[in-house]
Amino acid sequence: MRPRIRFGRVRVRPFVPNDIPAVASIVREALRENYPTSLYLDIHRWWRDGFLIAEANGNPVGFLASVMTSDGQARILMFAVTAGFRRQGIGRQMMDAFVQMCGMRGLRRIELEVRKSNEEAIRFYRRYGFDTQTVLPKFYTDGEDGYKMVKFV
Ligand code: ACO
Show the 3-state SS of 13-61: EECCHHHHHHHHHHHHHHHCCCCCHHHHHHHHHHCHHHEEEEEECCEEE
Q: Is pLDDT above 60 for 120? A: yes
- Mean residue pLDDT of the chain comes to 94
Whose alpha carbon is nearest atom 5 of ligand 1? 88
Q: Is pLDDT above 80 for 2? A: no
pLDDT of residue 71: 87
| CA 63 to ligand 1 centroid distance, Å | 12
Residue 86 phi, psi (nearest 5): -80, 165
Question: Which atom of ligand 1 lies at the shortest distance from residue 81's CA?
Answer: 39
pLDDT of residue 65: 98
**What average pLDDT does this structure show over 31-59?**
96
**What average pLDDT does this structure show over 110-130?**
97
Question: Which atom of ligand 1 lies at the shortest distance from residue 93's CA?
Answer: 26
Neighbours of 42 (CB within 10 A): 11
| CA 106 to ligand 1 centroid distance, Å | 26
pTM: 0.93
pLDDT of residue 143: 94
Confidence of residue 3 (pLDDT cuts 50, 70, 90): low
Q: Is pLDDT above 90 for 4? A: no
Q: How far apart are CA 80 and CA 125, in angstroms?
A: 12
Q: Is pLDDT above 80 for 5? A: no
Q: Is pLDDT above 70 for 101? A: yes
**Ligand 1, pocket-test mutation among 43, 86, 150, most atoms within 8 A of CB:** 86
Q: Is pLDDT above 60 for 151? A: yes
